[in-house]
Amino acid sequence: MSAKGKLKIIPLGGVEEIGKNIYVLEYGEDIIVVDCGSIFPKEDMLGIDLVIPDVTYLQRNRERIRGILITHGHEDHIGAVPYVVKQLGGVVPIYGTRLTLALIELKLKEHRAMPNVALHTIAPGQSVKVGSFDVDFIKMSHSIAGAVAMAIKCPVGTVVVTGDFKVDYTPVDGELMDFQKLAELGKKGVLALLMDSTNVERNGYTMSEKKVGETFNSLFTRAEGRIIIAMFASNVHRVQQVAESAQRYGRKVCLTGRSMINVSTVAMQLGELHIPDDVMISIDDLDRYPDDKVVVITTGSQGEQMSGLTRMAFSEHRKLDIKSSDMVVISANPIPGNELSVSRVIDQLLRKGADVIYESLAEVHVSGHACKEELKLMHALIKPKFFIPVHGEYRMLSIHKKLAMTMGMPEDHVIIPRLGDVIEISRNSAKVAGAVPAGAVLVDGLGIGDVGNVVLRDRRHLSQDGLMTVVVGLAKGEAKMVSGPDIVTRGFVYVRENEELMVQAREVVKKCVESCLKESRTPDWGTIKGRIRDDLREFLYQKTKRSPMILPIIMEV
């Protein structure tokens, strides 16, 4: 399908948005996929649990897919794996580092998704051949262990995908990103670069993760009661720093929240997290220790409704309630769209008298993404011929384009991609040469993609204006109404206080049905329902200036 001598790069996610990262690289008859992430639903996506990329293009070309390669284990890079694996039939091998694959394996088991999926562990510094592509895995610094960039080589040239990264000269695990490898690639020549744009709007450098450890130490000296710290479960390095502060100040560590326990258990088994057995306690044992001798690490830094911290704040947690003597630390920034949820939880914690610490008050969080000066360093090291900014909303991609141009990149060598764009690259040219199906697939419970715009529109309508159900009984074989109309409302008005309105509404429906029956001895039920809907909507709007969803039901008696 690829033109001879041309490489195609197709972003099916991760552009014009933060999250849902998935990039397709295609040469000859071979396709590889880099990352396979999900994204939080927007506030207007009522009832939706998760949003994953539309992989229709991959389904149509599944026999040509040689592998899925994962940069690291965050949800916006692995969250869609179990869903996409099912859609592709489970035959595609997956490549990643140890912790990344361990987290993917957890997901596959949880979803009972294709137990025979081949998982190939690749260490930073190693290479793997996948179809026509030779892929080098390059050690990077990020807020999770095992993060890598990829140098993807094919006959057209080398493409570097940075994944998420920051330049941290004092990483918690002591392992620096592989500057030497990146510089070697730049010296040999890189055809195209796909780079993280999340923090392109921020000047300067991102602080080292160790700065958060210093803040934790100072907070531990202040705290007189329990310390409860909420963070992303995948931030293993931060969990490690909390555990070290706990040991230093004589506190026991309790992990709570399903994902926190799962990820930490896997990380300890792999040697990425070190917490001595005599320091760890279960949540059932918390009451056996004085408050000033425990620290609880929990999920809920984004105000998620069912997370540990949210349930504690609203007294819905079975094992743990917030006390006025507690210090609660929210060690994360709200992801765009989650600000209201986080604020609601903070307010509730403060109402309970807790001492709440968040990023505005102390350095309890640092980003895992590179700021402007770090992005410049990466451009200077890699020196690509063509640049494709990714992992950002459109304004971020646009700013990153200008940044690349200040580094000497010609404007026509930078392509700001849109979802589904087919970017065709040869040795001397890069252009958008078409588009493939792309977008969002909504996951609601066990349903994948069965909730679309029409269903969401109905949910929004119901949430804003409520529902009115009208039931009418017609005589079988006769143009005669024998029962009703009966009206049931939900979320529209309180019926006991609006009985006159209900009486008038029934009269409107009765007249409407009688009129339809007079006009035709065998009226079409669809026509009657439509007339009921129209007449009742007009009446209710005149009376209340509201437009509930109206659901007419006709029964043949």
- Note the pLDDT tens digit of each residue in 174-217: 889 999 999 999 999 999 999 999 999 999 999 998 889 899 99
* Number of independent structural domains in the chain: 3
Give the distance from CA 419 to its chain's centroid: 16
**Inside any domain, residue 514:** yes
139 and 62 part of one domain = yes
Q: Which amino acid is at 149?
A: A
Cα–Cα distance between 26 and 9 in angstroms, integer?
6
Token duo for residue 90: 């489970």
Which three-class secondary structure state does DSSP give residue 307? coil
Query: In the structure, what pLDDT confidence band is assigned to residue 1 with cuts at 50, 70 and 90?
Result: very low
CATH number of residue 318's parent domain = 3.40.50.10710
Cα–Cα distance between 70 and 326 in angstroms, integer?
39
- Containing structural domain, residue 250: 210-357
338 and 414 part of one domain = no
CATH number of residue 84's parent domain = 3.60.15.10
| Cβ-proximal residues to 416 (8 Å cutoff; 6+ apart), any chain | 389, 394, 397, 398, 401
123 and 244 part of one domain = no
Strand 190-196 and strand 157-161: pairing? parallel
pLDDT in tens, 391-433: 999 999 999 999 999 999 999 999 999 999 999 999 999 999 9
Cα–Cα distance between 415 and 103 in angstroms, integer?
33
350 and 379 part of one domain = no
pLDDT in tens, 246-260: 999 999 999 998 889
pLDDT in tens, 88-108: 887 789 999 999 999 999 888
111 is catalytic: no
242 and 380 part of one domain = no
Cα Rg of the chain, angstroms: 28
Q: Which of 369, 379, 391, 400 is catalytic?
A: 369
105 and 120 part of one domain = yes
Query: In the structure, what pLDDT confidence band is assigned to residue 3 with cuts at 50, 70 and 90?
Result: very low
438 and 544 part of one domain = no
- φ and ψ at 11, to 5 degrees? -80, 115
413 is catalytic: no
pLDDT at 473 over 70: yes
Q: Where are the alpha helices (DSSP H) in 189-286?
A: 210-222, 236-248, 258-270
Q: Which of 196, 326, 355, 535 is catalytic?
A: 196
- pLDDT above 90 covers a percentage of the chain that reads 57
140 and 226 part of one domain = no
163 and 34 part of one domain = yes
